[in-house]
Structures are given as structure tokens and as C-alpha cells.
């Protein structure tokens, strides 16, 4: 970057930089983000009649394209430049343009505080860098999110470097495995790593004389004499394969061998999935709008985990000992549950043998609050006591400690931290969506937003849990570090200020192997291609078809003048971030789209009086206004109802029958469950370029990623696709098949669960062999919890004690 900056200063391009800063200053603003900076520079290039290359390829053009933030002061201009993903730099340019120097991150945080008139000279600095400094780290940004592969390589290299030491550690890790007091894998006849290596060879010789299909129980006693307990396999062939992997790992360690061996180690039997603030129910209500995707995710993950653990236990030969998997979804019990089963303490998860929803009530404090549903922004005062109460109930239900705790969302992740810390259990975090990057300048103006959102508690909770977690699952690469053009969700926690509260100078190590991309799947019993006619219910098909296109209902607005037009389908909650108003306006502004298509919107609400907050009511009214403004009556159907999952699956397929398309027009989408559902159903799917959809669709020649702020460009992309379909009818089918196969091959629960359990085992071993820094890190997190988080949560509790119920 020094060279690039110097080339600007040593050329006539310095004038262009001066003119850009002047143009920004005339707006009256002082803080600018990337889009504004690029637009201003583009306007300058056009007005100055610069050649076409200048915007992208000149030195100043490159500098501006790397710039993500600019702050204007009287004496200086501050640049946040990101020459590489996950590597921001802070530069200060003096007003006379004579000096452009690299600054420490703290200087930017001070400037940001001054910008909002909240600067103070002495403020708490949070710096996590020392806790990652001595740990092995990924060095190539392209490999961020592939921590498992990195650790496999690293551990194998250590085995080669000091084989005796690491053989002993491997032995100790295997020797400590047990379940309910039953020893697994090894007994005291094998006292060391060297003896383990010898006994493996003897065991393999013993097995070579057995029939491959001979059940393990037939030679169990002989095997115990050799020092081996149950868990190696259910047949002679399976046991032999597992021991051969161990022998190869000892003799010639390789990442693929380590991964294959660890996958077979029976180390996970009891799993806790924490999802607190939503309606975690199965009948009719699967969470509220703000938690629907998370609840579906957790329920499907629980089913998949229990099924996979059953398979692992059987293949390990442990079902003969009566060992069964036990999966618990931990959530809150809601006494005023509005007709759901959320007031049941224990509920079995459908289609499982031993997966349960365990509901623990919040301590009462003010029953008018705690007996009702509580928004995710208000939940913070109750989490510590909830964790203590949940620990007792979990130990009772499991009759022992769990092997893995998985948090979901910010509140569940904080409880996962508290529980895993107390119970000494491996902790996994799944954010789903981090609020900080969704609300622009939410950290800078947190005091103004505190009464409504309580971001001081939430962002502190995020910092604590993401750093305390043993490993973090994300659905996409961009969730961690974004793209060259955008900042990742986790990356937004790297450097930020909470004026008058603290400065974060290094909030998370993005190169840590704890980050792992493990995208979720989709329920293929419900969501499957429209072309699988044999699996579709004709009566359901007729019923849902009538609902989408013809039925009159108080919760349906609009009659289609020509139902045979190609349908554009969208499914989303009616919130500003999901941007259905933008899609409706895009449709309204394009006469060509209206001539080709009908627009069908499926939301959970249709009327403003059904809204649970002012923002939602405003979005509902906006859709009505757009329909009237653009006279869309006759071209639009708006269904304001929550469809059961099987009906929703059929709805996607009916759109497919009519050769329709799906559009996901969110301003930002961390991942996008409905995108998976639409694509696997066979719908050509257009989705926002801001977020995880980039990776789901994989861009396919840039034809299906939309900029939701560019309505004309969106309409053109859709029309270009429809023109190709009209010219070449097979184009729709080819796109449909490609998208369906993309989801089936890449986004399925079997892949997800295999990877998740492998991560749990590898990181459990990692913590066993390198525990020292984790303990120091966790002590630091406890300090943040007690000195920052708890006082913030107590302020929220004070407000709640004076409130009447917050249930609606």
C-alpha cells in the first residue's frame, strides 16, 4: 500500500485525490462509506472527462477502490483502506496533502468518537490479539473458514516433528474416552503410546484370522485381553479398518488419514443445541418472523444429528452396550404461549427416538414480562440465571455432562459460553445473523439506540462468545470476511468503538482455525423438485394452486387478470431489511415486467394492525401505497399468512409448474434459507448480491445476483433471462436443473452433520493438547462478562421491573 500511496503523491493524480476530498466535503457530511466514496469518484471522473481506465486502473482509482471509509476533519482526512480481505489499514492525510501516513487503529477510534462528540481521553481498550498470537493461524485469506483442514495438516506436521510426544498425547486422548462410566477403546492393559502402537499390530494380526463379517461381540473378550474396549467397530472388518487407520496415522501421519480416523472415534453421544428467544415449537408455530429460520434450522439439525449419532454408535458396536444418542434443544419455557406448546417443559422432537425440546423458564423478577415472549433485543437480563437453571436440568436429563454445546444466535451463544465454561464442554457457536453489521453505525450511535435495541449488551455478548467458542460454524465465507467490496459480519467486530464504553482495537482473529464453513441443508422430504411428480400429493397441489392464484380470503389481496403469465414469487417476513417494498416498486416501475409476469408475495401478515412493531406496520403500508401508486391491481397477489412447511414446499413447485422464478431482494441476507428451498424446488432464483446468496448461487456468469438498490438493473436482469427462456424454452429447464442439483450436492444435512461432528472431535482433541491459552482467554472473557456485560444487562432489568408485559 505504501507504493500505491506514493505513486499517487508522485504524479498528477494527487489533484484527483484533492478534488475527490473537496467534492465529499461539499455534501456537509463528515463520514463516508464505500458506496458514497465510489459514486463521488465516478461523478468526478465523468465531470473531468477522465479516460475510461482512470476509474479502475489509475493509481488513485485503485486507492479509492480499496477505500471503505473516509472521515473528514479540519486538519486531516482519514482513510480506512482494505488492500486485502481481512486486513484493514488506517491512513491519515493532512489537509495540505503533504503527508499520508499509516496510523495505529486506536487513532481511528479516537477520531470516530470525536466525530459524534463523544471523545474521552481514557477509555477501556479491548484487545484479543495476545490470546491468538502464539496459536497456529491460517496465513492465506482464501483459506479462512477452513479451520478443520488447517488443523488436520498442523497436527500431522506435529506428529512428524516429535512423533513420540504426539503419540503419547494421542494415547492419552483415546485413553480418557468413556460414557456413563463405561470405558471405550482402551483399557489399562495398554499403559502408554508405545504400547498402543505395539498392541495395534497384534490386534491387526488377530483380526486377519477372523471372518470380515464376524460380529464384534464374538471376539470381544479376546480383544479386551489385548487392551481394547468396545468402540472400534461392530464387525471384524470394521474394527480392522479403524485400527489400520490408527496404525497408518502413527506410522505416516497425513491429514486425510487423521480425518478418517477421528470421524470413527466414538466421542460424541450427548449434544445440546441452544436456541432461546424464539418460539421453539413444532405444531403450527415455528418461531416468530424474526426467529423462524433459526427454529427450523435447529429442529432439522437436531433430527440430522440424532440420526447420524445412531449410525456412528451402531457402526462402532456400541449399541450392544445400550448406548444411545441424546440430543436436547434447550430453549425457554413461555407460560403465556398463545396456543403453542411452548409452555411444555419437555417435548419430543418429531421423527426422532431420543431428541427433545427442553424448556427452562426465566426467573420471574417481573412475571408480567417473563411469562410472555420477549424480543431478542430485550432478553439479556435473564441469560445468566437461565444458564444456571439449565445446567441443573441438563445434568438431570442427560444423567451426565453433554459432549458438545452448540449456541445459536447472540443470546444462545452467550449461554453456550456460560454452560461450557462451567461444565468443561466443547463449545460451538452459530451466529445465523449478527446485528452489528445490519444496523448502520449502530456501534457509533449506540447510546441513541440503547433504549430500543440494547446494543451495548448484545455487542459485548458477541465479543465474549465468539472469542470463547472452541469453533464457529458459518454458512458462507462472506459471513466471516465478506468480499473485496464488503466487510464480513465477523470482520465488523475486528475494530470498532462504543463511545464512552470501550474501544475494540482487535476484537477477533479472522485467521483463526476456529472458523469453519459448514452450510446447512434443506428438508428434502418437504422441499424437492417440481419435476418429481410421483412424490407430489395431487389434492395438496390443487389446494395450494387455488390458494396462490384464485382463492378469495381476508388474508389475500389482489386478483390476477391473467393468471397464465409467468409468476415471480417471493417469500419473506415484511421487514425493511427483507425489502419486499423494493421488489414491489421494481415490478411497478417496469412495464415490461408487468407485461410478462405476475408478482406473488407470501408474507406472514397483510394488515398493519397485525404488526408487532412500528417498522413492520410501516413496511406493510408501503406495499399498499406502491400497489396503488403503480396501479398493480390485476398483476399482483399478496398472501399474508404463514403456510405449513408442506404447503410451502408445494407452493414453490407450483411456481415451477408454471415456469416461474423466485426473487430474494433483501438489502442484506446473511445466508437465506428460502433461497435453498426455492432452488432445490427447481426455481431459477435471483438473489441479493449482499450476503451469503453470492456463494449459494455461485453467481453463474453474474446473471442471478441482484443489487436491491438498482431497480432498473434488477428488472433488466430478470427480463434478459425471460427473453432467453422465450427464445430457447430449454433454457428455463437447464437453469432449473442446475440450481436444484447445486443445492442437493452442496447444501444437505448429511454433509453438515458429518462435518459438525468431525469438528467437535478435532477441537476437543485440540483443547486437550493445547489448553493453556484457552484458559487465559476464557478468564479474559469472564472479566468482560462481569465488568461490562452484567452492568448493561442489569440496566435493562431495571426497565423491565417497571414494565407491563412485553409479549406483543
- Second-level CATH architecture of 533-747: 3-Layer(aba) Sandwich (3.40)
Per the DSSP assignment, residues forming a β-bridge with 473 are 430, 516
The pLDDT of residue 699 = 56
- Condensed to tens digits (0 to 9), the pLDDT of residues 357-389 reads 999 999 888 999 999 989 899 999 999 999 999
Residue 808 pLDDT greater than 50, yes or no: no
Tell me which of 156-165, 737-746, 783-792 is least confident: 156-165
Supply the pLDDT for residue 289. Answer: 64
Backbone angles phi, psi at 153, to 5 degrees: -65, -45
Percent of the chain at pLDDT > 70 equals: 97
**Side-chain-side CA neighbours of residue 424 (13 Å):** 5
CATH 3.10.450.330 fits 2-103, yes or no: yes
Helices (H), 230-337: 236-251, 255-264, 292-315
Nearest Cα neighbor of 5 from 108, 98, 141, 104 is 98
pLDDT at 769: 81
Span 106-115, average pLDDT: 96
Tell me which of 289 and 527 has the higher pLDDT: 527
> What is the predicted pLDDT for the residue at 160?
87
Give the separation between CA 695 and CA 711, rounded to whole angstroms.
22
Confidence of residue 294 (pLDDT cuts 50, 70, 90): confident
Q: Tell me: the pLDDT tens digits for 31-44?
A: 999 989 999 999 99
pLDDT > 70? residue 806: no
Averaged pLDDT for residues 731-739: 94
Query: Does pLDDT of 292 surpass 80?
Result: no
**pLDDT tens per residue across span 429-477:** 999 889 998 888 999 999 999 999 999 999 999 999 999 999 999 999 9
Three-state SS for 181? coil
Q: How confident is the model at residue 772 (pLDDT cuts 50, 70, 90)?
A: low
Written as nine digits, the cell of 544 is 395450494
CB atoms within 10 A of CB 529: 23
**What per-residue confidence (pLDDT) applies to 718?**
95
Q: How many CB atoms lie within 10 A of CB 140?
A: 9
Residue 260 has pLDDT above 80, yes or no: yes
Sign of torsion over alpha carbons 453, 459, 460, 462:
positive
Helix residue ranges per DSSP H, 478-555: 478-481, 538-549
Residue 765, CA distances (Å) to 26, 183, 399 in order: 58, 18, 23
Task: Name the nearest CA neighbour of 8 among 90, 118, 93.
Answer: 93
**Neighbour count for residue 347 (Cβ, 10 Å):** 18
CATH class of 148-175+187-228+232-264: mainly alpha
Separation between Cα atoms, residue 310 and residue 316, nearest integer Å: 10
Under 8 Å between Cβ of 510 and 88: no
Q: Where are the domains of the chain?
A: 2-103, 148-175+187-228+232-264, 270-489+513-521+752-801, 533-747
Q: How far apart are the first and last CA of the chain?
A: 52
pLDDT at 286 over 70: no
Grid coordinates belonging to 266: 466414538
Domains 148-175+187-228+232-264 and 270-489+513-521+752-801 share a fold: no
On whether the CB atoms of residues 282 and 341 are closer than 8 A, the answer is yes
Checking if the pLDDT of 701 tops 60, the result is: no
pLDDT in tens, 184-237: 999 999 999 999 999 999 999 999 999 999 999 999 999 999 999 999 999 999
374: CB partners within 8 A, 6+ apart: 277, 362, 382, 806, 807
Give exposure, 434-451, as e/b (b: 16+ Cβ within 10 Å). Answer: bbbbeeeebbbebeebee
Q: What is the value of pTM for the model shown?
A: 0.91
Average pLDDT of the residues in 471-494: 92
pLDDT digit string, tens, across residues 579-621 = 999 999 999 999 999 999 999 999 989 999 988 888 889 999 9
532-579 pLDDT per residue, tens:
999 999 999 999 999 999 999 999 999 999 999 999 999 998 988 899
**Cell numbers that stand for 808 in this block:** 406483543
User: How far apart are alpha carbons 264 and 275 in whole angstroms?
Assistant: 29
Which set of grid coordinates corresponds to residue 508?
477477533
* pLDDT at site 509: 96
The candidate with the shortest Cα–Cα distance to 58, out of 1, 2, 101, 11, is 11
Estimate to the nearest angstrom the gap between the alpha carbon of 392 and the chain centroid.
Answer: 29
Q: Which three cell numbers stand for residue 399?
A: 444423567
The architecture (CATH level 2) of 270-489+513-521+752-801 comes to 3-Layer(aba) Sandwich (3.40)
3-state secondary structure of 765: helix
Compute the average pLDDT of residues 303-313.
Answer: 97
Work out the mean pLDDT of the chain and round it to a whole number: 92
Q: What is the mean pLDDT of residues 688-714?
A: 82
Amino acid at each position: 500500500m505504501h507504493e500505491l500511496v506514493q505513486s499517487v503523491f508522485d504524479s498528477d493524480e494527487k489533484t484527483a485525490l484533492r478534488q475527490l476530498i473537496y467534492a465529499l466535503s461539499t455534501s456537509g457530511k463528515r463520514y463516508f462509506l464505500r458506496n458514497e466514496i465510489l459514486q463521488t469518484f465516478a461523478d468526478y471522473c465523468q465531470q473531468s472527462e477522465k479516460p475510461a481506465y482512470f476509474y479502475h486502473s489509475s493509481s488513485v482509482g485503485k486507492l479509492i477502490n480499496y477505500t471503505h471509509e473516509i472521515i473528514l476533519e479540519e486538519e486531516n482526512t482519514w482513510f480506512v483502506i482494505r488492500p486485502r480481505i481481512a486486513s484493514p489499514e488506517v491512513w491519515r492525510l493532512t489537509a495540505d496533502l503533504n503527508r499520508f501516513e499509516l496510523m495505529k487503529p486506536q487513532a481511528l477510534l479516537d477520531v470516530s468518537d470525536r466525530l459524534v462528540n463523544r471523545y474521552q481521553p481514557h477509555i477501556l481498550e479491548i484487545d484479543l490479539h495476545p490470546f491468538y498470537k502464539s496459536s497456529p493461524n491460517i496465513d492465506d485469506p482464501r483459506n479462512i473458514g477452513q479451520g478443520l483442514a488447517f488443523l488436520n495438516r498442523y497436527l500431522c506436521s506435529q506428529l512428524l516433528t516429535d512423533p513420540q510426544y504426539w503419540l503419547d498425547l494421542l494415547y492419552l486422548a483415546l485413553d480418557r474416552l468413556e460414557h456413563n462410566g463405561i470405558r471405550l477403546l482402551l483399557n489399562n492393559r495398554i499403559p502408554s503410546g508405545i504400547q498402543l502402537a505395539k498392541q495395534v499390530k497384534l490386534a491387526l494380526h488377530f483380526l486377519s484370522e477372523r471372518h470380515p463379517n464376524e460380529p464384534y461381540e464374538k471376539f470381544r473378550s479376546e480383544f479386551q485381553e489385548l487392551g481394547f474396549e468396545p468402540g472400534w467397530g461392530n464387525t471384524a472388518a470394521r474394527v480392522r479398518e479403524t485400527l489400520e487407520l490408527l496404525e497408518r496415522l502413527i506410522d505416516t501421519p497425513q491429514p486425510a488419514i487423521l480425518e478418517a480416523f477421528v470421524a470413527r472415534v466414538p466421542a460424541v453421544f450427548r449434544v445440546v443445541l441452544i436456541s432461546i428467544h424464539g418460539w421453539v415449537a413444532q405444531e403450527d408455530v415455528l418461531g416468530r418472523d424474526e426467529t423462524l429460520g433459526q427454529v427450523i434450522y435447529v429442529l432439522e439439525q437436531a433430527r440430522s444429528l440424532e440420526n447420524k449419532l445412531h449410525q456412528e454408535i451402531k457402526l462402532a458396536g456400541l449399541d450392544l452396550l445400550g448406548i444411545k444418542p441424546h440430543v436436547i434443544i434447550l430453549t425457554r419455557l413461555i407460560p403465556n404461549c398463545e396456543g403453542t406448546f411452548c409452555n411444555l417443559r419437555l417435548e419430543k422432537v418429531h421423527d426422532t427416538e431420543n431428541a427433545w425440546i427442553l424448556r427452562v423458564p426465566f426467573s420471574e423478577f417481573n412475571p408480567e414480562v417473563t411469562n410472555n415472549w420477549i424480543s431478542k433485543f430485550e432478553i439479556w437480563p435473564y441469560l445468566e440465571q437461565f444458564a444456571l437453571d439449565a445446567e441443573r436440568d441438563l445434568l438431570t436429563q442427560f444423567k451426565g455432562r453433554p459432549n458438545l454445546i452448540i449456541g445459536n444466535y447472540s443470546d444462545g451463544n452467550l449461554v453456550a459460553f456460560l454452560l461450557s465454561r462451567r461444565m468443561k464442554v466443547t463449545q460451538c457457536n452459530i451466529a445465523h445473523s449478527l446485528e452489528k453489521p445490519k444496523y448502520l453505525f449502530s456501534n457509533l450511535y449506540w447510546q441513541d439506540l440503547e433504549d430500543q435495541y440494547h446494543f451495548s449488551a448484545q455487542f459485548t455478548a458477541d465479543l465474549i462468545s465468539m472469542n470463547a467458542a472452541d469453533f464457529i460454524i458459518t454458512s458462507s465465507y462472506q459471513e466471516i470476511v465478506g468480499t473485496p467490496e464488503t466487510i464480513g459480519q465477523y470482520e465488523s467486530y475486528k475494530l470498532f468503538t462504543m463511545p464512552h464504553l470501550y474501544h475494540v482495537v482487535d476484537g477477533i482473529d479472522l485467521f483463526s482455525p476456529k472458523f469453519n464453513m459448514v452450510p446447512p441443508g434443506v428438508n428434502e422430504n418437504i422441499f424437492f423438485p417440481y419435476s418429481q411428480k410421483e412424490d407430489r400429493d395431487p389434492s395438496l397441489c390443487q389446494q395450494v394452486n387455488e390458494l396462490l392464484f384464485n382463492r378469495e380470503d381476508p388474508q389475500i389481496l389482489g386478483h390476477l387478470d391473467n393468471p397464465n403469465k409467468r409468476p415471480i414469487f417471493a417469500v419473506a417476513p415484511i421487514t425493511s431489511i427483507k425489502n419486499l417494498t423494493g421488489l414491489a416498486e421494481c415490478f411497478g416501475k417496469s412495464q415490461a415486467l408487468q407485461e410478462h409476469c405476475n408478482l406473488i408475495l407470501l408474507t406472514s401478515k397483510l394488515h398493519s394492525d397485525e404488526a408487532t412493531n412500528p417498522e413492520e406496520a410501516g413496511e406493510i403500508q408501503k406495499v399498499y401505497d406502491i400497489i396503488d401508486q403503480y396501479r398493480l391491481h390485476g398483476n399482483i397477489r399478496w398472501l399474508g399468512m404463514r403456510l405449513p412447511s408442506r404447503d410451502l414446499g408445494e407452493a414453490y413447485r407450483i411456481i415451477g409448474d408454471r415456469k416461474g422464478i423466485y426473487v430474494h431482494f433483501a438489502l442484506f441476507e446473511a445466508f437465506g434459507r428460502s433461497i435453498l428451498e426455492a432452488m432445490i424446488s427447481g426455481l431459477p432464483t435471483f438473489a441479493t448480491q449482499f450476503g451469503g446468496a453470492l456463494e449459494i448461487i455461485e453467481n453463474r456468469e453474474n446473471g442471478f445476483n441482484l443489487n436491491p438498490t438498482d431497480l432498473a438493473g434488477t428488472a433488466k436482469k430478470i427480463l434478459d433471462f425471460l427473453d432467453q427462456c422465450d427464445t430457447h424454452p430449454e433454457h428455463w429447464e437447464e437453469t432449473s436443473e442446475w440450481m436444484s442439483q447445486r443445492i442437493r450436492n452442496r447444501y444437505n444435512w448429511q454433509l453438515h452433520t458429518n462435518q459438525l461432528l468431525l469438528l467437535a472431535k478435532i477441537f476437543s482433541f485440540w483443547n486437550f493438547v493445547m489448553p493453556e491459552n484457552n484458559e487465559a482467554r476464557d478468564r479474559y472473557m469472564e472479566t468482560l462478562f462481569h465488568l461490562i456485560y452484567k452492568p448493561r444487562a442489569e440496566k435493562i432489568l431495571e426497565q423491565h421491573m417497571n414494565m407491563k408485559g412485553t409479549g406483543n
